[in-house]
Amino acid sequence: MRTALQVMRKKGEITEDPFRTGMKNVQDRSAPIKLVKYIDLEKSPGFIRSVMLHPRAPDWFSETLSTYCKSNGLNYLGNSTLYKLDVT
60 touches 68 (CB < 8 A): no
**How far is it, in rounded angstroms, from Cα 23 to Cα 36?**
17
CA distances from 77 to 16, 62, 63, 83 (A): 26, 10, 12, 16
Higher pLDDT, 26 or 75: 75
- pLDDT (tens digit per residue) in 23-64: 665 555 555 666 777 777 777 777 888 999 998 899 999 999
